[in-house]
Structure formats: structure tokens, C-alpha cells
Chains A and B, each alone.
Chain A
Amino acid sequence: MIEVLNPTAGPATGKVVMAKRAGTLNGLRVGVIWNGRPYGDKVIKAVIGLLRQKYSFETVVFLKKPFIGNVAPASMQEQIIDSCDVAITGIGD
């Protein structure tokens, strides 16, 4: 018999808690974080256009991440948290 070792680092340990759903966008302040990929802004604006057909809301900020491959900077996240009720973002290439 031989005993060998598992080479993996195991599952991610952090807990991700889903944000509370607003249920509606009516009357809310919406923030957008675009990941910076070409055409990503157009996709998000198209999504906003579709949402405006159903809801009445204000787009407060439209932000672009400085680095595609990293999470949005803390200052950007704070700006969204301080000035918006919900945020729209997306991943893609």
C-alpha cells in the first residue's frame, strides 16, 4: 500500500452572501460598473434600456473598472454603496 497526497487547495472558504433583492427598480437609484471590456458598456446600456421599459428609475453613476481582471477598487464600491440602491454589473470578454 502507498499513501499519497491530495494536491489541491480545497474549495474556496469565503462565504458569499447574496445581497437582499429590491423586488422592483421603481424609484431606485441604479449604479453600473462596467468591467472595461470593449462593448461591455453597450451590453449594459442595452440591458438598462430593456429595464426602463418596465421600471422607472434613475441611473446615478456609470463607472468603468480601471483593471479588467481585478475586482472593482474599494473606492468604486463605496461610491456605489453610498449613492445607489442597486448596482448592475457583469462579466464577459
Chain B
Amino acid sequence: MIDPLIADRISVDNLDAAMELYFERGWTDGLPVVPPTEMKVMEFLDYTGLHPEQPVGDVPERDRVITAEHLAINAVMAGCKKEYMPVLVASVEAICDPDFKFNHMATLGSAWPMLIVNGPMGRDLGFNSGMYLLSAAGNRPSSTVARAISLLFWNCTESRPDGIQRGQFGNPGRGHYCIAENEETSWDPLHVMLGFDRDQSTVTAVSTYPGPYQVYCQRTASPELMLDSMVDAISTYDFYRGTYILIIPPHFAELFIQHGWSKHDVRRYLMDNCKRSVADLKRRGLWGLHSSEYHGFAGVAQEVQPGDEDRFASVFKHDEYDRIMFDDTTLLRRSDIYVVVGGGNAGPRLCFLAPYGVSTDPKTVAIRPP
């Protein structure tokens, strides 16, 4: 039998009053929540067998330990079903992992994690891997798990605009970014590429900058032609280095497979070819912006010099311009592309999400079934 919960209890007259209470106390994300009662929260904890005070995530930067009870309360509020708790537990473990470096989510750039669910649980619980992938619209597991994570950090670590978050524009993925990969192609799914068994369910948290970037890729005669639009898009974005997410719809995945290309081939082509001339970087004001050099941006000449048109810096690969283009913390992080199959099976677009590369790496955690 699980011990009683330790959260403060508040008595209200009725359901309407309960919903208003959470607005008044600043405990919502701007949308109404399901008022969490002890009975409902206990159902969630009973399902997982977790003690209410069982730590799920340690957040030393906020001097907090997130417990199973905190998670269950916010999961109820978000409208989750108790069956989503194992996915939620793994998500919190990933986000609170030292490799993920939670504190970066306070940044001006509004970074927020994309949660990618792989393995049988993604499929069996019905997480969205198809149309409208990135907004979770109408899909209960994707919508509510993403929302539960948002509410949890809102309420338990002050990760909100009137708290520690200083994002200029916010991240539209907050409360929405929870997807499953479409694992029906012959490609290895993401978690298998990362070393997990296919039958093991996992959650991967990848920090992303706001805004998925859809790219027209209408030339399909060869894999290279399919990817050259993406090469251009990534190369002319803000030149971040870190772990990008590349989402390939299933019909495009089949085209690559027909040409004999694996996910590794896609990844290698992009990593080899995403680059930008020194001249362009200077004109764009990116040359030396995050320089590791002691004098930083001001110490790096911005005028286009003869030969700059023919010198290229790589987005992904280490080269002679590393310490001009990236700071020390970025250079210590992984430079990678997570290729994920998903999205609708009609349409001429691929999609990428740029990384928050400074100080954070993605984290994949195995989901423990109840």
C-alpha cells in the first residue's frame, strides 16, 4: 500500500472553483487543468508502484528534487492517463540528467526539449508519429505528456517567464513537442542507432531552438538532390553546432531506401556538405560571434577579405575555423544529426529542428514498464 501524499491540500466548493484556483495561484500554463485529487494521483502512483517521495529527477540548479508525487500531480493536471507515467518518468530522468544540463532552458533563445519516444510503448500507447507531428493536435498521449512536462517544470522549478526563463519569444514546442518515431520502415529507429534493442522502449530528450524549419525537397531523382535543399537550409540558418533533429516523412524514407541509402548515409551527406563561406558568415554577422578566442566577437575581423568566398566553415565537422565560430562549451558538445522518420505521408517537405548546442547534449533513457 502506498503511503499518503504529502502535497498541501486545498478545499474548494466545486469543480469550477478548483479550476479557477489553479489560474489564481499561477499553477497553469494559461489553459485550464484537470484538478488533481488525491484519489486520482494515487491511481497514477499505484500504476507505477512508485512511492510518492521517490526521487525522479534531481535539479541542483534549483535546489529541488522532483518526486514521483510531483510528477503524478502535474500529469493529472495535464490530462494524462496513468499508463503514460512510465514515459513521463523516463522523460524527467532524461531532462534532469547532468548531460542534458537543465539550466540552459532559462536561455534568452527559448530552448525547450523535444521528446522522442521509440519502441513498443510509443506505438502501443498511441503517441503521434504521423500527420501534424509537431503540434500533437488531437493526440492525447503526445499532447498531455508534453504538457505534463511543461507544467511540472513550471510548477516545480520556476521554469516560466515570471521565474527563471528569459526567452525573448518563447518556444512554440513547449507543451507540444512529444513525438513517436514511425518505426515501420526498414531503417533502424533512433534508439537502435543509439545502441538500444529494438524492443526496448526509450525516451530521448533533445534541446531545440524555437521553430521547426520545413524545407521543400521536391527533386527526388537522387538522394543527393533530395537533401541539397536541406543542405542549403541548414547551412544558411544561424550556424548552430550541436545535435540537429532531421524529420523525414515515411514516403521520403522509402525513396532513400530504394536508392540504397541508410540513415547513416543521410547523416553523412549532410555533415559533409553543410558549410558556409567565410565571406557569407562575415556578411551575415556570424563570423566570430561565439568565438572561443579570448577577445571574442570584437577581436575577429568582420571585413570580407580576398579569398573569403572560397574558404568554408563546416556546420558539423571540426575544422580550422572551430574556435572562431564556436565557443568552448559548444566545442565540447556532440555535433550530430538525429534522423527520425515521422510526419504525414504526403507532401514535398522534410523538416529540421536546430539545436541549442551550447552546454547541452541529448539524453536517451530506457522506459521501465510498470
Chain A bound to chain B: yes
Dominant secondary structure of chain A at its interface with chain B: loop
- Count chain B residues whose beta carbon lies closer than 8 angstroms to a beta carbon of A: 58
Residues in A lying within 8 Å of B, measured CB to CB:
1-9, 12-14, 36, 38-39, 41-42, 64, 66-71, 93
Distance, CA A64 to CA B108, complexed state (A): 21
In the complex, are the beta carbons of A9 and B156 less than 8 A apart? yes
Q: How far is the CB of A2 from chain B (nearest CB, A)?
A: 5
In the complex, are the beta carbons of B62 and A36 less than 8 A apart? no
Beyond A3-B37, A9-B156, whether A69 also contacts B328 by CB under 8 A is no
In the complex, are the beta carbons of A2 and B35 less than 8 A apart? yes
Complex interface bits, B15-46 against A, C-beta within 8 A gives 1, otherwise 0:
10110011000010000000111100100000
Chosen A-B contacts, 16 in total, with CB atoms closer than 8 Å, are: A1-B12, A2-B37, A4-B18, A4-B35, A5-B9, A5-B36, A5-B37, A9-B66, A9-B70, A36-B327, A39-B297, A41-B294, A68-B358, A69-B102, A69-B103, A71-B61
Q: Which chain B residues lie closer than 8 Å to A39 at the CB level? A: 296-298
Complex interface bits, B281-315 against A, C-beta within 8 A gives 1, otherwise 0:
00000000111001011100000000000000000
CB closest residue in chain A, given B105: A69
Complex interface bits, B34-76 against A, C-beta within 8 A gives 1, otherwise 0:
0111100100000000000000000011111111001001100
Distance, CA A54 to CA B3, complexed state (A): 61
Q: How far is the CB of A80 from chain B (nearest CB, A)?
A: 19
In the complex, are the beta carbons of A69 and B359 less than 8 A apart? yes
In the complex, are the beta carbons of B297 and A38 less than 8 A apart? yes
In the complex, are the beta carbons of B18 and A70 less than 8 A apart? no
Given contacts A6-B7, A7-B7, A12-B64, 5 further A-B pairs with CB under 8 A are A2-B17, A8-B70, A9-B65, A42-B296, A69-B102
In the complex, are the beta carbons of B359 and A8 less than 8 A apart? no
CB closest residue in chain A, given B109: A93
Q: How far is the CB of A62 from chain B (nearest CB, A)?
A: 10
In the complex, are the beta carbons of B77 and A2 less than 8 A apart? no
Is B354 positioned at the interface, with any CB of A under 8 Å from its CB?
no
In the complex, are the beta carbons of A3 and B359 less than 8 A apart? no
Is B1 positioned at the interface, with any CB of A under 8 Å from its CB?
no
